[in-house]
Amino acid sequence: MMKPSEDAIFSVSGAADFEKLALEIFRLQAAGCPVYREYVSLLGINPEEVNSIFSIPFMPISFFRDHAVITSGENRPVKEEGEMGSFSSGSDTGRIVPGAGNAGRIFPGAGNTGRIVPGADNAGRIIPGAGNTGRIFLSSGTTGVKQSRHIVREISIYDRSLEDGFRHFYGDPAGYAILGLLPSYLEREGSSLIYMVNRLIQLSGNSIGGFFLDDQADLFRAIEAARSAGLKVLLIGVTFALLDLAEKHPCDLSDLVIMETGGMKGRRHEMIREEVHEILINAFGVTAVHSEYGMTELLSQAYSHGGGLFRTPPWMKVLIRDSHDPMSHSSEAGAAGGISVIDLANLWSCSFIATADLGRMHPGNLFEVQGRFDDSDIRGCNLLVS
């Protein structure tokens, strides 16, 4: 079976085109991904008889924690074996501007060669292949909790997904100074969120953007520099860090796009999204707080421009599954239950994921995240702020 092309995935248009491509990828993965193939078989489902996205079985997201979720193609079977080594320096390089406690910024840029040395968590294992184009992303997690691993055979498909997705919702990254209120990429390995923001900073093509952690004075200097340069400013941060900034440095940031990426996840007491957004709106004078919905197990992101209502790019779709019947899904406005995601960019792993999030559909194919199932691991990007 021939795999769909990346061009086909990222040029998908309309519901019929999406469903046709989703069914092709389902059959590819039901045959070529061992853990998904076994799951489909145990459910007693014949892939050839599945003729609707609502009949596709969605794999529990926990499988990424307990199994190697890999789909092989006809010409390049993928094995999880591989040598410990450094990442290729093409998209990961940057220079560190030191500060107290190494709290400086990381500036991506050309000519900043170097190697990122893998740690004991195996975050740097390289998947064999031409040019070592693979990568393993790891979920953040508490000590003693097994992390999910997303084995990405071709990092180029993730690059295209995040770049095309950002342009779809926000335009050309070159018009922005992108400031990450996030852990430095060199401090923790394997984070897909850090990779995403670092890639967007590189695409912005200016030296103002970077990562910030403890040096908030440097953050405000960067904001002023971006204003002077006539650039739009995207401040993207983990919710915990944005709330810290709001408490310590409330000020007029009404001209910024402020984007949060998730909940407290053990760093503070849990707060509902509306409460978080109200604090940030009052502290910074913005009319709305943007949000990003993504996770280690997905190669695409959904975005909200305010109010916690998310839109997906054309190659991604959210369905709501019945909390008592995991095979029953709906996309109708008002449907509430577990969030299942079709991410066509997950071509070489599994595109059909039953997440641990709870949500509700809204008119216009918008969706809202309302919480998580009680037995979900406490994990998330805020755990990277330590």
Q: What CATH number should be reported for the domain holding residue 102?
A: 3.40.50.12780
CA 307, 309, 310, 314 dihedral sign is: negative
Q: How many domains does the chain have?
A: 1
What is the number of residues in the chain? 386
Q: What pLDDT sits at residue 178?
A: 97
Q: What pLDDT sits at residue 171?
A: 97
Tokens 């949500």 correspond to what residue?
A: 359
DSSP labels, 311-336: E--TTEEEEEEETTEEEEEE-STT-E
First to last CA, the chain: 46
Within its chain, how far is the Cα of 186 from the centroid?
Answer: 18
Residue 1 included in any domain: no
What CA–CA distance (Å, rounded) separates 334 from 345?
A: 27
User: What are phi and psi for residue 159, nearest 5 degrees?
Assistant: -55, -45
User: What are phi and psi for residue 353, nearest 5 degrees?
Assistant: -120, 125
Q: What pLDDT sits at residue 368?
A: 96
Residue 285 included in any domain: yes
Q: What pLDDT sits at residue 264?
A: 55
Tokens 């890999």 correspond to what residue?
A: 70
Q: Which residues pair with 265 in a beta bridge?
A: none
Residue 11 included in any domain: yes
Tokens 């995991």 correspond to what residue?
A: 326
Q: Using an 8 Å Cβ cutoff, are 107 and 218 in contact?
A: no
Residue 312 included in any domain: yes
Q: Consecutive 10-residue runs of the chain (386 residues): their mean pLDDT?
A: 86 96 97 96 96 97 95 54 31 35 40 31 39 80 76 95 98 96 66 93 95 86 97 94 93 97 64 91 98 96 97 98 92 96 97 96 96 59 44
DSSP labels, 332-384: STT-EEEEEEEETT-TTS-SEEEEEEEEEEEGGGEEEEEEE-TTS----GGGG
Residue 17 included in any domain: yes
Q: What pLDDT sits at residue 86?
A: 30
Q: 31 is in which domain, residue-wise?
A: 6-384
Q: Using an 8 Å Cβ cutoff, are 350 and 29 in contact?
A: yes
